[in-house]
Copies of this chain bind each other. A is one copy, B any other.
């Protein structure tokens, strides 16, 4: 096929799929700061981390040097059930916008978990199974990660305990039922099944929970139950490693057709999708082989990159997890109650935080009504109902394409479409009914969060 005959959707063949993950840390001059023991403030050792995480995952977490790590055959076989994912040329959206820009998106929603989270879920579940563990624990907010992990555990015959933020548990009963379909046990958090949960319930009766609190409960459940470990769907270095499969496939597909992106855009909550999508491109940039504009898009209501501080912080509310150096709003930051979807974590991947700090990428914050406008515009053109999270990237991609219309530049824009919005129709309904509002935290709101940062 000639290089200019680019199909609507580029599907790689299974033989073209990557057989190694790419570890962007190997090419970073300034490595991400190590996780610290919250009591001693000393770097966490492999042994300490091994009480919480599987052995192989601890190795991956601490490995700042290996550029490539083999993807085990069993994981590659699972990937083949839903990967390679399509790289789609958004011809219809381009036409609607009247832009000379070429827009591509890597669509990760074509699996039952409905998002990219499955890429790391199967890896983490595999290593747990391989270590002879009985099960894993985790937390979930919007539910994408919990769903993905439940699927992976069902496939491997591993027990799966999910702590689901109570407000989501109650407002998203269907997400809960999907997890139950995959055999997971789902507990609303905070719960009376853990010490930290009971403590929070006593202190804040009637609380609807938070991600930071659910993390604390899941970690406690893992370390106090023999044969269990804790797994996490974002933020960690190992997660970005697994998610590099997104970017690697994208790069292979683009190279195959001679496409070079000028701008790469991803939504950013904890950084799992963004980190995965950009990794091989960032690698080229770090090695001085190519240049790309890379843009992280976050909600204006939870602006860790654009308004946070680059500091060591707690990863969870209960302060049982290691400290991470990252852009953060403080572990006590309360996300806006009117905020739809995910991307509401107070911190950000240490890898991405370092790269942002070192000037390798930009960040911008967008308001949610503009995000839903973009979501609806995209759905009507491209026939995919996007998740609110993913729609942050759509918003920025449309904004950049409109700029191209104004300047006449035919830039190539690539963005990550992380998932589908089937379980977010309550938010869409609010948007349709004109009941959706925007929230931007005041400087005072942010100061309250920063006040809780640990003294180092």
A contact set with B: CB distance below 8 Å: 7-9, 11, 13-14, 77, 80-82, 88, 92, 110-114, 118, 151, 154-155, 173-174, 177-178, 180-183, 376, 379-385, 420, 422-423, 425-426, 428-429, 432
Contacts and interface: CB of A to CB of B under 8 A. Distances in A.
Closest 8 CB pairs of A and B: A174-B425, A422-B422, A154-B380, A8-B80, A177-B425, A112-B385, A177-B429, A7-B14
Given A81-B383, A111-B384, 16 more contacts: A8-B81, A9-B81, A81-B88, A81-B92, A92-B155, A112-B383, A112-B384, A155-B381, A177-B425, A177-B428, A178-B428, A180-B429, A180-B432, A182-B379, A182-B380, A183-B380
B181 A385 contact: yes
Nearest to A380: B154
Interface SS, A side: helix
Contacts of A376: 181
A422 B174 CA distance: 8
A425 B178 CA distance: 7
A31 B380 CA distance: 39
A380 B182 CA distance: 6
A35 B379 CA distance: 37
Contacts of A181: 376, 379-380, 385, 428, 432
Contacts of A432: 177, 180-181
Contacts of A384: 111-112
A376 B151 CA distance: 11
Nearest to A385: B112
Contacts of A81: 8-9, 88, 92, 382-383
Contacts of A92: 81, 155
A306 to B, nearest CB: 29
Give the residue among A178, A381, A383 with the most B Cβ atoms within 10 A. A383
A144 to B, nearest CB: 13
Contacts of A423: 422
B11 A11 contact: yes
28 contacts: A7-B13, A7-B14, A8-B14, A8-B80, A8-B81, A9-B14, A9-B80, A9-B81, A82-B383, A92-B155, A110-B110, A113-B383, A114-B422, A154-B379, A173-B429, A174-B422, A174-B429, A177-B428, A177-B432, A178-B385, A178-B422, A178-B425, A178-B428, A181-B385, A181-B432, A182-B379, A183-B380, A422-B422
Contacts of A379: 112, 154, 181-182
Nearest to A432: B180
Given A7-B80, A81-B8, A422-B422, A383 B151 contact: yes
Contacts of A385: 112, 178, 181
Contacts of A174: 422, 425-426, 429
A9 B382 CA distance: 23
